[in-house]
Amino acid sequence: MTKAGIYIHVPYCKRLCYYCDFHFSLNLKTREEFVSAVCEELRMRKDFVAAPVETLYFGGGTPSLLKVEELKTIFSVIRKNFVVQPWAEVSFECNPDDITEEYCNALRDLGINRLSIGIQSFFDDDLRALNRRHSAESARNAVKIAQKVGFQNITVDLIYGLPNMTVERWKQNLAEVEKLNVQHLSAYSLMVEPHTALNTFVRRGTVQLPTEESVLEQFNYLIDWSEQTGFEQYEISNFARNGMYSRHNSSYWTGEPYLGVGPSAHSFDGEKRYWNIAHNAKYIASIKQGIIPCETEILSLRDKYNELILTGLRTKKGVCCETVKTLFPDFFSSFEQHKKIYLARELLQEQNGNISLTRKGIMLSDAIMSDFFVTE
């Protein structure tokens, strides 16, 4: 293994977005202790990744709730305990409301070179309906401030399939992205997760979701739009201009090792998966006692195969047939069988020995992937 990544989960938010099922807390009182615990976990796990670090990612929660001094402390521990390549991609998720010129300058000075700004929609009524804490205007301003400060790698997030969203409004959202001149877009279909406020609203009938047909139309338009505007769809939900893929997320899809630090963070060493406890106070208490509060799972050959299918088929590059043959000889005949069926139905295409989803196939991706999975 020649490269590795580090993910830091910052488990705090100022508000609960109604659709969110990530781990976070609205109680910011433990923030200082959290920073100390993260630093300690980084020290304790400094040998987890043997290879030099090529990607660092601050996700959450809301990393932009951390103060500059707190970030400085975390960065100094990372640089002391890990080899971070000078060309590393250092990504940082921000809420538009937290972005000021001063904060952005400080982020840049710390070595952060990629900002991920959670916008979700450019309509204030959508933002209110989702309980986001920023407005459309502050989202536009955040991008402009980041650009003024010199960030040349900015990604924004949008959600389609929102309650009451029409194709027309979705088109307007994408037109705004184009105007902002950013390098990357992540566009997700709204998922109504159990245990979210949104799920309750939908069940009670107080929120109406668009029809499946309309969501499909929005997704179709997204692909048309990306082709017209030079955003390459390199993964089902991710679009980049000029090859500016998310290197950190791409490494998840290609099975590279990464260390995840903080409550609920996941790690992978090539053989095993680890996941930290999703509870801030318990996480902090355990680290104080010198114990990493994580569970572990050894991946079976079948798990690894299914993961290769799941992550590979989500990408434009697809799944390498030779890799399947070499690494998973027992599953190769089943793989070939499904491949043949889906090539004939033009839901898959084969290029340079790799299979990937066609546009028609992307619309049915979940069903195709689960057909490929080996279950026993």
Q: Which is nearer to ligand SF4, 20 or 37 (CB)?
A: 20
Angle (deg, nearest 10), helices 167-180 and 136-149 = 20
Q: Which is nearer to ligand SF4, 19 or 82 (CB)?
A: 19
Cα–Cα distance between 232 and 121 in angstroms, integer? 21
Question: Shortest distance, CB of residue 63 to ligand SF4, whole angstroms?
Answer: 10
In total, the chain counts a number of residues equal to: 376
Q: Which residues bind ligand SF4 (CB under 6 A)?
A: 13, 16-17, 20, 22, 24, 60-62, 95
| Residue 309 phi, psi dihedral angles, 5° rounding | -65, -50
Q: Which is nearer to ligand SF4, 263 or 312 (CB)?
A: 263
Question: Shortest distance, CB of residue 95 to ligand SF4, whole angstroms?
Answer: 6
Residue 347 one-letter amino acid? L
Q: Which is nearer to ligand SF4, 53 or 162 (CB)?
A: 162
Count of helix runs (H) and strand runs (E) in the chain: 15, 15
Question: Shortest distance, CB of residue 92 to ligand SF4, whole angstroms?
Answer: 14
Question: Shortest distance, CB of residue 370 to ligand SF4, whole angstroms?
Answer: 27
| Residue 263 phi, psi dihedral angles, 5° rounding | -60, 135
Q: Which is nearer to ligand SF4, 60 or 210 (CB)?
A: 60
- Which of 339, 11, 14, 17 lies closest to 199, judged by CA? 17
Angle at the Cα of 24 from the Cα atoms of 312 and 160, rounded to 5 degrees: 50
Distances in Å between the Cα of 161 and the Cα atoms of 114, 120, 121, 125, 212 are 27, 11, 11, 15, 9
Question: Shortest distance, CB of residue 2 to ligand SF4, whole angstroms?
Answer: 32
Question: Shortest distance, CB of residue 240 to ligand SF4, whole angstroms?
Answer: 22
DSSP label of 300: P
Q: Which is nearer to ligand SF4, 17 or 35 (CB)?
A: 17
Q: Which is nearer to ligand SF4, 132 or 248 (CB)?
A: 132
Helix (H) / strand (E) containing 232 = strand 232-235
DSSP label of 10: E
- Which of 156, 70, 57 lies closest to 106, judged by CA? 70
Question: Shortest distance, CB of residue 65 to ligand SF4, whole angstroms?
Answer: 9
Q: Which is nearer to ligand SF4, 60 or 318 (CB)?
A: 60
Residue 218 one-letter amino acid? Q
- Which of 6, 16, 4, 1 lies closest to 198, judged by CA? 16
Distances in Å between the Cα of 143 and the Cα atoms of 110, 222, 280, 301 are 19, 21, 31, 44
Q: Which is nearer to ligand SF4, 278 or 364 (CB)?
A: 278
Question: Shortest distance, CB of residue 120 to ligand SF4, whole angstroms?
Answer: 8
Q: Which is nearer to ligand SF4, 95 or 121 (CB)?
A: 95
Task: Decide if 242 contacts 236 (C-beta within 8 A).
Answer: no
Secondary structure (3-state) at 206: coil
The dihedral sign for the CA sequence 118, 124, 126, 129: positive
Helix (H) / strand (E) containing 308 = helix 301-314
